[in-house]
Structure 1
Amino acid sequence: MLATLEFGLSLGDASLVIVFFALLTCLPPAFMGIGGMETGMRQFVQARYSFGLYLVIIPLLLNTATITGFTLMSAIAGGQTLAAINPSHVSINVGIVITCVVAFGISLLGFNFVHLWERWTWIPNLIALIITVGCGGRYLHLQSQPAAPATPAQILNLGSLMAGYFITFGGMVGDYSIYHNPRGVLSKSFSARARIFTYLYFGLFLPSVPLFILGAAIGGAVPQVPAWQAAYASTGIGGVMMEMLAPAGGFGKFVLVVLALSVIGNIAISMYTISLNLEMLMPPLPFKLRVHRFVFILVTMAVMIPMAIRAAMKWETNLINFLSIIGYWSACFDVLLILELVVFRRMDYATFDQAIWNVGRELPPGLAALGASMLSWALVVPVMAQSWYVGPIAKSTGDIGVEMAFVLTGLFYLPLR
């Protein structure tokens, strides 16, 4: 929705940016996911072979913050949608609490249940979306027309948000591809690596791009449909979906509940990954400490709910700032792990010695990885374009921070490594 509603792009321009940036930025996480299957190590255990046992804490904390941020946005969307059903009895804050608590219960049950949930819940979610578009789609052609053609700055700013969405999966994709057996997915015509890459690439691209384009269409129509505009001002995207489903009456409210609960899968899987990330912070501590994953999930939820309630007050601004910032560090992280594997390890996953995954003196110190990231930031800052800061170069080019972070970090890492 931000593409048309906030950035002022036409639906056609927004759709082209969404498709082409998605085609490009789905590549790094899909490639990185192969390592989970081949090594049996989660993503930030693999990262220790570049950052070391101790310096990996820096990207680990950034990744935890990133996933928490995505979870906040999902909780807000779910809360807005529940609140739209009966605004006089259910506030957005209450809706946020409901979605988080239900997701909390699912994430506690472990990977197998989370996987079972993800395997089947997309079906009612998709049906609910189709019904919503069928009921309210007659207004989607009423698009706000921009006063001028899209500028390079507008296109790159939206592209930066797209990159900030897709590239960040590089910090978690290995947490799930480890459950694939390289000998269990082989076929005569398609290697295990190619199959995992394909699964991951299209698993990111196919569910996301159509919904992004639908969101852009809804965002472009909101100013043209008074009822939608009023609903958006009251309860955000949930209000717009309620207006779209209004012709369906009581059944429409049932569909809206399904849509609200569709974010639970996002939140549950995020909580699961966050708990894994926090567990990985434990080994470097100077004392032995065993903490059950339940505790990490509980702490995460306790922190996340009030943050989501606060962020919901300025949802659009917070979302834009968040997506833009996380793309910068994620680009650094992805290119470092890709170069480490391709250039220095020659695509030989056997060089990731599993015997030293938790031995600090045997792992690299991580100075090359951290140094390359920090050096690249000296040139990323001038090309950033945020609501609170616009670099001198970005004033004419738009936000190209993600692209610069990816390229420059890779160039610095080669000689430093």
Structure 2
Amino acid sequence: MMETSAIDYEAAKAKAETNVTEHDDTMANDDVSIADGTVSSSATDHIVKLRAKYGFLRFLHRGDLWLQKHAGVDTVGAERIPPDQRIELNSLTMATFWFAINMNPGVLVSGVIGSGLYGLSVVEAILIGLVATMLGALGPAFSATLCPPTGLRQIAVSRFTFGIWGAKLCSIMNVVIEVGYAVPTSIAGGQLISTISGGKVNTAIGIIVITAVSWFLSVLGLRAIHLYNQYSWIIVFSLLINVFVVARPFFNPEPTHRYAEGMTHTAGCLSYFSIVFGSTISWSTFSGDFYVQYRADVSKLKVFIYTYLGTILPWCLVFPLGAEIGGIYVSNPEFFTIFNAQSIGGVVSYFIHPDAWATFVSVIFALSFIAGQSAQIYSSGISMQLLGTYFQVIPHFIWNTLVAGIILGLAWGGQNSLLAILSNFTALLGYWVLLFVGCMALEHFIFRPRLGGYNAEGWQDSKAMPLGLAGVTTMWVGYALTFLGMAQTWYTGPLAKLIGDYGGDVGPFISATTCIVLYPILRHFEIKRFGR
């Protein structure tokens, strides 16, 4: 049986190479070339023709070039970055990038949810949160290693698993995910700015400020985001230590006391795990976007370790403080009222004095959300371009502007529902991201070595890419099955209902099981039938 399987894969590898070779030989007829390694000639020609046909596209292109020349804006879009165009970047930039994204008071809110909404003890919330973080961070750390060797963005790399059309679905989902996580950060930043003004500036104005600054940084491009993130976390970390010191006298004197018992307690543990796990694994859909400028021979182990540590360390440092604040939330009626009204702004106004110092802390905390949101807007713009040539012809900064506008509108409408958004939306997105990165991991470790690795030059060649039947089927069958184990305020699946009074979320476990069982079987038959 093993010999037959090996023969099948050798034949499939040879067939895939033949497809690419034959495709190159007939590119004059097929109007496709993969020799360039960045954008296929047909795609480039199509873009040129579209600009020649439509005046507004020429206008946008000239604007893009003007920004690059006169404002130093990084106008590189979704195209592949060839090895000879890479630059030397400090390895520590990898870690500080993720450190800055996760070093913000939004992590405090995630910590509050455990004891504040699910009745867990402070100790339980800390332990479950840290375990979920360490497991979830494996996703972005792995997916980041795929981009420097290929020079492709994360969603572009996913074409080797889901095919060209399947990756378009992934592009759409990535935009949904990034917008979904950017909305609560905009709300949190807006609430802080409102607190600074003593309520004179409402939350909506604060949301506009945070979103606008994040958009501006995303338009400046990759180097600007790296530069900002390299230093922005330092003062935020210092101020979070200050919050810990001043809040410590208010900590719940019974950190092991929990407010839920029996199966309801078990359900709370499962649901809380899903929320935190979903928050950390969500970076998997775009973590590699920020490594395409690194040298192709950069150590994969280094990329993995720096990304992993840069993701988990802020959570390990900030998350326990959030859990402790959650303990105060359920044991201190005065703080309960203030937090419900002002969220993170309430934390600052309740614990930090004098008022001038509290104002300074609030300003820095509000600005700390820019690190993550600018990256989310940037990545969403890339994903929009990867939907096809008609989308790629639109400059990156236009898509960034559209995404920022959507974030602004949704945050404006949901500004009074921060905890509800976090507790429902993050877990829901985490199910899909787990399937996304799980399929890519199985493809990378099981099938790519047998198929000759990643033919990065052929990333836009439909005959070089897999059809994606296995990946797309696994992804959507798995996602559908997670609804059986989902436990959200708006829906509780039949399996989740079996656990506790309100249901326990077992969606991530269903996603993982479906992926591990289904994808290898379907992918084996896909390669055997189509040779790629």
TM-score band, normalised by shorter chain: over 0.9
Q: Any residues of structure 2 matched to 1:6-405 within 5 Å, and which?
A: 6-142=117-253, 145-149=257-261, 151-183=265-297, 185=298, 192-245=299-352, 247-283=353-389, 285=390, 290-346=393-449, 351-397=453-499, 398-405=504-511
Per-residue deviation, residues 14-56 of structure 1 (Å, max 9, x unmatched)? 1110121222222222122111122221111110111111121
Per-residue deviation, residues 184-221 of structure 1 (Å, max 9, x unmatched)? x5xxxxxx122111111111110123222211111220
**Could you say if the C-alpha distance between residues 149 and 289 of structure 1 is closer, same or farther in structure 2, counting changes exceeding 3 Å?**
closer
Distance across 1 between alignment mates of 2:338 and 2:203: 13
Give, in angstroms, the shift of residue 273 of structure 1.
Answer: 0.8
TM-score by length of 1: 0.92
Matching residue of 2:105: none
Contact 1:142/1:221, CA 8 A, preserved across alignment? no
Distance across 2 between alignment mates of 1:51 and 1:205: 28
Is the radius of gyration larger for structure 1 or structure 2?
A: 2
Per-residue deviation, residues 29-85 of structure 1 (Å, max 9, x unmatched)? 212211112222111111011111112111211111001111111111111111112
Distance across 2 between alignment mates of 1:280 and 1:57: 7
Give, in angstroms, the shift of residue 132 of structure 1.
Answer: 2.2
Instruction: Please tell me the root mean square deviation across aligned C-alpha atoms, in Å.
Output: 1.9
The aligned amino acid for 1:205 is: I
Give, in angstroms, the shift of residue 282 of structure 1.
Answer: 2.8
Per-residue deviation, residues 318-363 of structure 1 (Å, max 9, x unmatched)? 2211011101111111111001110001398x62112211122331
Distance across 1 between alignment mates of 2:401 and 2:479: 34
Give, in angstroms, the shift of residue 376 of structure 1.
Answer: 2.3
Moved more, 142-151 or 98-107: 142-151
Contact 2:184/2:421, CA 8 A, preserved across alignment? no
- Segments of structure 2 that go 5 or more residues without pairing to the other structure are 1-111, 524-532
Distance across 2 between alignment mates of 1:302 and 1:119: 27
Distance across 2 between alignment mates of 1:157 and 1:358: 40
The aligned amino acid for 1:353 is: N
**Could you say if the C-alpha distance between residues 159 and 347 of structure 1 is closer, same or farther in structure 2, counting changes exceeding 3 Å?**
farther
Distance across 2 between alignment mates of 1:277 and 1:20: 30
Contact 1:53/1:365, CA 8 A, preserved across alignment? yes
Distance across 1 between alignment mates of 2:481 and 2:122: 32
Matching residue of 1:189: none
Per-residue deviation, residues 257-312 of structure 1 (Å, max 9, x unmatched)? 111111111111111111111111133x5xx8611111111111111112001122
The aligned amino acid for 2:283 is: F
Q: Matched residues, percent identical?
A: 27
Distance across 2 between alignment mates of 1:375 and 1:251: 52
Matching residue of 2:95: none
The aligned amino acid for 1:69 is: G
Distance across 1 between alignment mates of 2:440 and 2:203: 40
The aligned amino acid for 2:344 is: I
Per-residue deviation, residues 146-197 of structure 1 (Å, max 9, x unmatched)? 33447221111111112211221110111122233254x5xxxxxx122111
- Segments of structure 1 that go 5 or more residues without pairing to the other structure are 186-191
